[in-house]
Amino acid sequence: MTKGSINVSVENIFPLIKKFLYSDHEIFLRELISNATDATLKLKHLTNIGEAKVEYGTPQIEIKIDKDAKKLHIIDQGLGMTAEEVEKYINQVAFSGAEEFLDKYKDSAKDSGIIGHFGLGFYSAFMVADKVEIITKSFKDEPAAHWTCDGSPEFTLEPNDKAERGTEIILHISEGEEEFLEESRIRELLTKYNKFMPVPIKFGTKEINDPEHEPATITDDEGKETKEPHRKITVDDIINNPNPAWTKQPSELEDEDYSNFYRELYPMQFEEPLFNIHLNVDYPFNLTGILYFPKMTNDLNVQKDRIQLYQNQVFVTDNVEGIVPEFLTMLRGVIDSPDIPLNVSRSYLQADGAVKKISSYITRKVADKLKSLFNNNREDFEAKWNDIKVVIEYGMLSEEKFFEKADAFALYPTVDEKYFTYEELYNKIKANQTDKDDKLVILYASDKDEQHSYIEAAKAKGYEVLLLDSPIVSHLIQKLETSKENISFARVDGDHINNLIKKDDTTISKLDEDQTKALDELLKELIPSEKFTVQLEAMDSDASPFIITQPEFMRRMKEMQATGGGGMNMFGNMPEMYNLVVNTNHELVSEILNTKTKKKQERLINQSLDLARLSQGLLKGEELTNFIKRSYDMIK
């Protein structure tokens, strides 16, 4: 028997492992199963190239709980180790980074990403165990070895009579860590981290119907037929799928395979995804995966299921910010890359050159897929637009490369449910919606019902009105205005339609200068200046007499403030200000001016103003109650 000290100069390495990794101590199981998987796959490679003269067979990894003895076993049938290899890999190499680790982390417990990164994967066992044993037999024709360590730098290493190839790790679970002796907890961890590991993982057994037994039909004395019960057999409970969809070529998969895998990833999701994107690249880095577009809502904060990040089929995290472009974090699915470090902090990931390349590759791949979906079946793409637009619009705002590519598939729907690309829209409206200063004005509504009268006024002039109702639309149109030449967006209720798209032809007012001045004074006397700026306009006589609008710039700044950025906080704090556009050519306006009594003038103005406020949803509470009562009195 050999005794010795592990190659580490400081004795407090184990307390430090426990202390600094405590917040994430459940990952010990992932680490040990990852090691077992490596050992199995390495053996497969050695048998394939003829270096290992053994039968590979159909190895699996087994997890066993011995609750009474407080032991957890992880058993593999991989390449195993000789005593010499145990000495080298467990006692020396594993701690090659220990001193650097101590220097770096002794004052800070912020980063739990040290296991793996410093070769400490195996030693994560000591977060939950006060004693660890390794019983291992190499595929080489050498005796088995038995290593034991009780969480101090001392270890023992002696021969063992283990006959089968592979390694068994026995964890003597510490006091306070008994949760890792519960079947439900271990099953939860295996499902979380090891659901798609490439080697089958056995955890107990289960009963299933015997596939080779067809139940017989039994006829009783009265001639009634019944089937005999199924015969049950006990089989190994394999908890993982070693060949998940993303490890296969797209040509091997049908639509149903993608749907089934989505349900495997998100068993609680009952809605089918709209479509998927299969990622598969081997240069300049390795990356595979499948991303799904779920049905989106306009609420940017709703996100129940997230993209899962794997390294060689080992779950790493579902916090993929910095690896996946931010706008795509609203998608679901899997990304797997051996080039992403298994256990490092997010700040490290975000600064990593390979990770940045991965992010831009995913952006490009998603843009290309959206373009091909649009080109191959435009009708279907249009039908799905409202369910995916938030992601695409967010991408156009946040990723310049995506913005450029989006010209080919981003859609601009109208209130009449027609869909245009930007180029199609430009060509359609250029002749009619260019103002006297040669600027193209793109009209849009955010709510068809609330802005109905304004939309109708625009359509009466033959103008197209877009329906742009996502929460980030004010940011998006700002981006489009600065990126495209000589265009501006105007919401239909931002002003009277003649002012939104100013033409050379002007309507002449029926009122002379004195009448206009008298009307202006009368309105300003009765209408609160802190809420409304009065504008007298000569419009068509059949246009509304009083129209309330909100200045585009002010409204847009407040909206951008509400959804983050886009202006200083001053806009968010400013009171709501509206324009009251009064049509000097409407007969009601003439009647107000010609009414002899001041009381009747006031009544007509108040009633007209309240009707305009009602149409904008601005009449509420006591003022609405008074308006309704007054209206009934007028009918009587």
Q: Per residue in 61-78, pLDDT tens?
A: 999 999 999 999 999 999
d(CA 180, CA 172): 11
Angle at the Cα of 526 (from 522 to 532), degrees rounded to 5?
Answer: 105
Question: Does residue 448 or residue 108 have the better pLDDT?
Answer: 448
Domain boundary pick from 319, 349, 376? 376
Confidence of residue 102 (pLDDT cuts 50, 70, 90): very low
Residues 23 and 154 in one domain: yes
Two tokens, residue 282? 């081997």
Residue 146's pLDDT is 96
Residue 104 has pLDDT above 70, yes or no: no
Residue 179 has pLDDT above 60, yes or no: yes
- CATH for 530: 1.20.120.790
CB neighbourhood size of 319 (10 A): 13
Residues 76 and 163 in one domain: yes
d(CA 322, CA 327): 11
CB neighbourhood size of 112 (10 A): 17
Strands 440-445 and 465-467: parallel
Residue 118's pLDDT is 42
Residue 594's pLDDT is 83
Residue 493 has pLDDT above 60, yes or no: yes
Was 35 annotated as part of a binding site?
Answer: yes
CB neighbourhood size of 193 (10 A): 21
Confidence of residue 161 (pLDDT cuts 50, 70, 90): very high
Residue 35's pLDDT is 87
Residues 185 and 107 in one domain: yes
Residue 14's pLDDT is 61
Residue 568's pLDDT is 47
d(CA 79, CA 560): 60
User: What average pLDDT does range 594-608 have in this prediction?
Assistant: 84
DSSP for 397-431, please give it. HH-HHHHHHHTTT--EEBTTS-EE-HHHHHHHHTT
Residues 532 and 435 in one domain: no
Q: Where are the beta strands (DSSP E) in 27-143?
A: 61-66, 71-75, 129-137
Task: Specify the 3-state DSSP secondary structure of 139.
Answer: coil
Residues 494 and 527 in one domain: no
Highest-confidence segment of 64-73, 109-118, 550-559, 627-636? 64-73
CB 558 within 8 A of CB 552: no
Average pLDDT, the chain: 83
Residues 138 and 58 in one domain: yes
Confidence of residue 352 (pLDDT cuts 50, 70, 90): low
Residues 93 and 55 in one domain: yes
Whether a cis peptide bond, with omega within 30° of 0, leads into 284 is: yes
User: What is the per-residue pLDDT across 443-455, written as a single tens digit (0 to 9) for each?
Assistant: 999 999 888 888 9
Per-residue CA distances from 187 to 182, 194, 209, 443 (Å): 9, 10, 23, 57
Confidence of residue 165 (pLDDT cuts 50, 70, 90): very high
Was 167 annotated as part of a binding site?
Answer: yes
User: What is the per-residue pLDDT across 288-337, written as a single tens digit (0 to 9) for each?
Assistant: 999 999 887 666 555 656 888 888 888 878 877 777 888 888 889 999 98
Residue 97's pLDDT is 45
Looking at the chain, the whole-number percentage of residues with pLDDT higher than 90 is: 35
Closest C-alpha to 318, from 247, 265, 274:
265
CB 314 within 8 A of CB 198: no
Residue 94 has pLDDT above 90, yes or no: no
- Which residues on neighbouring strands pair with residue 208, listed in sequence order? 233
What single letter denotes the amino acid at residue 427? Answer: N
Closest C-alpha to 127, from 9, 37, 27:
27
Two tokens, residue 607? 């009633």
Was 96 annotated as part of a binding site?
Answer: yes
Residues 277 and 336 in one domain: yes
User: What is the per-residue pLDDT across 550-569, written as a single tens digit (0 to 9) for each?
Assistant: 777 777 777 777 666 544 45
d(CA 625, CA 362): 56
Question: What's the burial of 429, exposed, middle or buried (CB within 10 Å: 0-12/13-18/19+)?
Answer: buried
Two tokens, residue 192? 């979380």
Whether 229 is in a domain gets the answer no
Whether 402 is in a domain gets the answer no
SS3 content of the chain, % helix, strand, coil (to 5): 40, 20, 40
d(CA 545, CA 608): 8
Whether 227 is in a domain gets the answer no
Whether 190 is in a domain gets the answer yes
Residue 542's pLDDT is 78
- CATH for 326: 3.30.230.80
Residue 345 has pLDDT above 60, yes or no: no
Closest C-alpha to 43, from 52, 33, 32:
52
d(CA 581, CA 547): 5
End-to-end CA distance of the chain: 110
Per-residue CA distances from 409 to 366, 412, 634 (Å): 12, 10, 54
d(CA 37, CA 59): 10
User: What is the per-residue pLDDT across 380-406, written as a single tens digit (0 to 9) for each?
Assistant: 999 999 988 988 999 999 899 999 999
Closest C-alpha to 32, from 111, 127, 147:
127
Was 81 annotated as part of a binding site?
Answer: yes
H or E, element range at 601: helix 598-615
Question: Does residue 343 or residue 536 have the better pLDDT?
Answer: 536
d(CA 304, CA 326): 16
Region of residue 80 (left: phi > 0; alpha: psi -120 to 50; beta: else): left
Residues 307 and 280 in one domain: yes
Confidence of residue 115 (pLDDT cuts 50, 70, 90): very low
Domain boundary pick from 376, 391, 421? 376
Per-residue CA distances from 626 to 531, 532, 577 (Å): 19, 20, 23
d(CA 131, CA 151): 6
**Structural domain range at position 423:** 411-500
- CATH for 158: 3.30.565.10
Highest-confidence segment of 351-360, 438-447, 516-525? 438-447
Residue 505's pLDDT is 67
Domain boundary pick from 473, 500, 527? 500
Crossing angle, helix 473-483 and helix 378-398, to 10 degrees?
A: 80
Residue 8 has pLDDT above 60, yes or no: no
Whether a cis peptide bond, with omega within 30° of 0, leads into 545 is: no
Question: Does residue 232 or residue 108 have the better pLDDT?
Answer: 232
Residue 572's pLDDT is 52
Residues 616 and 588 in one domain: yes
Residues 167 and 69 in one domain: yes
Highest-confidence segment of 30-44, 513-527, 551-565? 30-44
Two tokens, residue 88? 């080298």
Residue 407 has pLDDT above 70, yes or no: yes
Whether 401 is in a domain gets the answer no
Whether 217 is in a domain gets the answer no
Confidence of residue 346 (pLDDT cuts 50, 70, 90): very low
Whether 396 is in a domain gets the answer no
Residue 619's pLDDT is 84
Question: What's the burial of 527, exposed, middle or buried (CB within 10 Å: 0-12/13-18/19+)?
Answer: middle
d(CA 523, CA 516): 11
Counted residue by residue, the chain has a size of 636
Counted domains in the chain? 4
Residues 148 and 198 in one domain: yes
Residue 48's pLDDT is 86
- CATH for 449: 3.40.50.11260
Lowest mean pLDDT among 92-96, 149-153, 223-227: 92-96
User: What average pLDDT does range 462-489 have in this prediction?
Assistant: 90
User: What average pLDDT does range 589-593 have in this prediction?
Assistant: 83
Was 559 annotated as part of a binding site?
Answer: no
Whether 393 is in a domain gets the answer no
Closest C-alpha to 118, from 130, 133, 103, 131:
103
